[in-house]
Structure 1
Amino acid sequence: MAKQVRWLSDEEWARIEPLLPRGRKGAHRVDDRRVISGIVHMLKSGARWRDCPPEFGPYTTVYNRFNRWSRQGLWLQMFEALTGHNGIFDGAAIDATHVKAHRSAAGAKGGPSPKR
């Protein structure tokens, strides 16, 4: 028997289930909750989609749903349903606290010249 791996609690699932698309024609639909768990697992692990564990369904299904739902803006809606915030901010600032420099950037070959 395959183990059940779920990233979402029953309460979280109840919040996002109404947002998911229904009524698509085609092959038998793999369980959305299992696929979402697979997507979260793959994003957290950073592995290739092809390396998705079989407990989450076919890797092509996991990738295709992630890609399709991204284009539809569904992930932002799910995020807002779970957190109460849409994750979009008015502005952002990027700051670098250091800049890499070559080891000889401080002076010419041989070090600083003597003062006269």
Structure 2
Amino acid sequence: MRGRTAAEVQEPWKVRRHELTEQGWELLAPLIPRASAGRPRVEQRLVINGMVYKIRTGISWRDLPERCDPWPTVCTCFRRCTSTASSPGGPAADADPG
């Protein structure tokens, strides 16, 4: 199910154990760059929650819950975030995403 919004996934938004709280999202949301061109972005909160879930549980990307966006989207965003956050050849460059 592509193009879901947070409201479509769960109404009202209830924070689960491995998801950002409303306060955490309010701090993080302004730091996420806006898309300037190309395809419209997916619901960023769902992508971030997918990343948090993966990091906290240690599951493989393919095992992400359905309430997160499709695993390839979350995995690609995670790889982009970790590659821009580290220096070339740093630990994130050698990390296995799966």
TM range (shorter): 0.5 to 0.7
Separation in 2 of the partners of 1:47 and 1:27? 29
| Residues 1:35 and 2:47 are matched in the alignment | yes
Separation in 1 of the partners of 2:26 and 2:9? 23
- Unaligned stretches of 5+ residues in structure 1: 75-116
- Unaligned stretches of 5+ residues in structure 2: 1-7, 87-98
Tell me which protein shows more helix as a share of its residues: 2
Q: Any conservation in 2 of the 1:5–1:37 contact (CA below 8 Å)?
A: no
Separation in 2 of the partners of 1:5 and 1:53? 15
Q: Any conservation in 2 of the 1:49–1:63 contact (CA below 8 Å)?
A: yes
Find the residue that maps to 2:27 and give its secondary structure: helix
Separation in 2 of the partners of 1:26 and 1:58? 19
Q: CA RMSD in A?
A: 2.1
Partner residue of 1:46 out of 42, 46, 58: 58
Query: Are the structure 2 counterparts of residues 72 and 5 from structure 1 closer, same or farther at C-alpha, using a change threshold of 3 Å?
Result: farther
Q: How far is the alpha carbon of 1:67 from its aligned partner?
A: 0.6
Count of residues paired in the alignment: 74
Task: Flag the structure with more relative contact order, 1 or 2, with Cα contacts below 8 A and sequence separation at least 6.
Answer: 2
Q: Any conservation in 1 of the 2:47–2:69 contact (CA below 8 Å)?
A: yes
Q: Any conservation in 2 of the 1:38–1:52 contact (CA below 8 Å)?
A: yes
Report percent identity of matched pairs.
32
Amino acid of the structure 2 residue aligned with 1:72: T
